[in-house]
Structure 1
Amino acid sequence: MSNSLDMEFLSAALITQGEHKFYTLTMPIDVIVRCCSPNPRAEDPQDGFQRSLDVNRAESIASYVRDGGVIPSSIILSAQITSGFEYKSRNKTIGFNPHVSSFLIIDGQHRVYGFRKLMESGFGEKLRIPVVIFTDLTPVQEARIFIDVNTLQRPVPKELLLDIKRLAETENEEEILLDCLFSFFEEEPDSYLFDKLSRFEKKKNKISKVTFYEAFKPLLRSFEVSNVKRLYSMVNAFLKAAHDVVTNGGIAFDDVITKPTVFKIMTAHCKAVISIIAENDPGLTTKISEHKKFLQRSIASNFDNILTAKSYLKEVENLDRRLLRSKMKI
């Protein structure tokens, strides 16, 4: 039996759910580093279930904490026999041996590894992290809890994260412009994409914010846009012209423009069309009729290729080449 003088004691709350008992508490990061270890699958293929450690990810966590970031989610541990784990109900305290093999990390190995990197760098701030400790688990139960934690948790949609970045005021300059452009297409009554966009999640027959950003980033960089409303007006005219050209060819453009590949191809091709119009007369870049004149040459008889394209970049090259050839004949 362990000498109580050598044990670590921390306040904790006992929780019972079904057949399991576990304890919730906060643990200093130096204690976490000293008493917890993962069970990497690569090192123990027979019984291990943890993913191999990603050093870069752990370094990112260390930098994030060092810069003042917070980690409110709990690390989930399983007390091992070597921990000598005990619970004193009278004062609601747990005791354990402060040894590296005392706790198996069920979830949070990269956070723990990040804390270790912090400690090795001389980080001296006394931080405490939420922890959940299970006791008396068999290896099978540990593996099942690991599976539950990593399959039942649903990740936050990327679309929602983009919008939360706006609320948190952590957007970079490019993201601010993209959000402004998205808002124009989302809200303006004359927008061709009105009611075709989804800001917070992926939806059938809608263009998600992630797809929108991916499509418009190259356009922003190519035109070095500072006037987002101007870009909106040019692209909106292009899309309305494309609608007329494609619909006259017997294809419902409204139905296919929300397909991610089609949307990316058309947005990328927009760059070539706007550039040619601007060379002749910048004042015509918002005229639907002017866009139609060039789209008749590039997509009128070739839109089926866009619908079946597997590589949007290759198809954009084909469209741009076709457009430039027709320009040379003028």
Structure 2
Amino acid sequence: MTDITVPFIEVNQHGKSFFLVNLPAAIVVEVSYAAVRGRDEEQGAVQRVLNTRRIASIRDFALSGGFFPNSIVMNWVRSESLSIDRDKKTLSITPHDYSAQLIDGQHRVAGLAAAMSSESDLNDIDLPVAIYVGLTTKECADIFLAINTEQKPVHRSLVFDLYAIADDQIIDPAAARARDIANELSEKSAPYYGMIKFPGEPPRKGGVALSTVVTTIKPLIEKNGVFDQVSLSTLENQSLAIINFFKSLEDIYGEVWFERQNAFMFAAGFSGAIEFLAARMVPYCVGRKSFKSETMRQALTMTRENLIYQKELAGKSGSEAQRYIFVRLDELFDKGESADEYAF
């Protein structure tokens, strides 16, 4: 690959400069590499071992036309392959392997490299790159930690909420569908009307965050998930199955369903209920060829005398509370008559 000269913007922060440039993906892939802490002995080795699943996900994202607006952050270590002209404000690169360590963006670069092997047009996609020169391991660690600890990722509820307006090539289809079901669960007359916390709402005690609803429902509705295995494939059927299940619980609770003492109005209660739906109620309904709320209600021996209240979860961790809800529902589950013996 021939030399390349590009204009730069020099940025100085706390006495340390770096250069912002625009480079073709092919150049970035060729010159960069990850120096892994605990494996590589060289200065600047602060990276993790690459995650192959994440690389595959980014490859698919790139092939679908995804955007890469965040800067790749490099520590240039091969001085003979980089020339900086501050008078002209240009930076010249002679492409060589192992010229620059990746401080941030190693999975993006590896994913793009994998995508480029299938789609050569991606070689020319422009990538923003921040180039430091000759950093020590300590300096690389400071930058790595600043990116990965101080710059917190956006809350998952906001991510899932934005799926409603984002381009199809960007979104996670299963999470987007789970978000649609969350909307239906929170509609007027639905079991969680006003109780699902969407971004922008004021903080309050009780209710279930959108992120909890989506991440809990998603395994049921993704490809080869619980619903897919029993041929519940449409949004309408999947939504009705979940809504009818919670309606069966709402019918039992009556006027106390929306009160804060109801365990199902909190994250652990919702998650434990969905776990129970997947493991117990779905097979029960499949056997009876009915996902009506009346069918589900018949399988529950819960009455006003043995309701599950939030106070029962006091002192339990999130996972313990979720499991407690599952066990309590399981104790109140009448799966009906079964054969005393099985034929094999």
Q: Return the TM-score normalized by structure 1.
A: 0.73
Residue identity in the other structure for 2:75? S
Match of 2:341 in 1: none
Match of 1:205 in 2: 206
Give the CA deviation at 1:141. 1.2
**In the aligned structure 1, how far is the partner of 2:22 from the partner of 2:48?**
25
Indicate which of 29, 36, 49 corresponds to 1:33: 29
Matched pairs, number: 312
- Mean CA deviation greater in 209-218 or 149-158: 209-218
Q: What's the CA shift string for 1:163-196, capped at 9, x where partnerless?
A: 22221253677656543432233231x3442332
Residue identity in the other structure for 1:324? D
Give the CA deviation at 1:299. 7.7
The 3 A distance-change label for structure 1 pair 299 and 172 is farther
**In the aligned structure 2, how far is the partner of 1:119 from the partner of 1:282?**
46
Match of 2:265 in 1: 258
**Residues 1:14 and 2:15 are matched in the alignment:** no
Judge conservation of contact 2:196–2:209 (CA < 8 Å) in 1: yes
Indicate which of 140, 149, 152 corresponds to 1:151: 149
Which of these two proteins has the greater Rg computed from alpha carbons? 1
Judge conservation of contact 2:55–2:110 (CA < 8 Å) in 1: yes
**In the aligned structure 1, how far is the partner of 2:94 from the partner of 2:136?**
20
Match of 2:130 in 1: 132
The 3 A distance-change label for structure 1 pair 211 and 116 is closer
**Residues 1:72 and 2:32 are matched in the alignment:** no
**In the aligned structure 1, how far is the partner of 2:266 from the partner of 2:100?**
49
Alignment partner of 1:57: what SS? Answer: helix
Indicate which of 102, 105, 110 corresponds to 2:107: 110
Q: Return the TM-score normalized by structure 2.
A: 0.71
What are structure 2's unaligned runs of at least 5 residues? 338-344
**Residues 1:43 and 2:69 are matched in the alignment:** no
- Mean CA deviation greater in 117-126 or 86-95: 117-126
Give the CA deviation at 1:73. 1.1
Residue identity in the other structure for 2:265? T
Give the CA deviation at 1:240. 2.7
Give the CA deviation at 1:197. 1.0
Judge conservation of contact 1:246–1:299 (CA < 8 Å) in 2: no
Q: What's the CA shift string for 1:271-306, capped at 9, x where partnerless?
A: 749x78x97x998839xxx95x87554684373797
Judge conservation of contact 1:245–1:296 (CA < 8 Å) in 2: no
- Mean CA deviation greater in 34-43 or 176-185: 176-185
Query: Larger helix proportion, structure 1 or 2?
Result: 1
**In the aligned structure 2, how far is the partner of 1:9 from the partner of 1:114?**
25
Alignment partner of 2:164: what SS? Answer: helix
**In the aligned structure 2, how far is the partner of 1:148 from the partner of 1:23?**
18
**Residues 1:303 and 2:308 are matched in the alignment:** yes
Following superposition of structure 1 onto structure 2, how do residues 1-330 of structure 1 map, counting pairs within 5 Å?
A: 8-44=4-40, 48-80=45-77, 82-83=79-80, 85-118=82-115, 123-124=120-121, 125-170=123-168, 178-188=178-188, 190-200=189-199, 205-216=206-217, 218=220, 221=227, 224=232, 226=236, 234-235=244-245, 237-244=247-254, 254-267=261-274, 272=281, 285=294, 291=297, 295=300, 297=302, 300-301=305-306, 303=308, 307=313, 310=320, 312=322, 316=326, 319-320=329-330, 322-324=332-334
Give the CA deviation at 1:265. 3.2
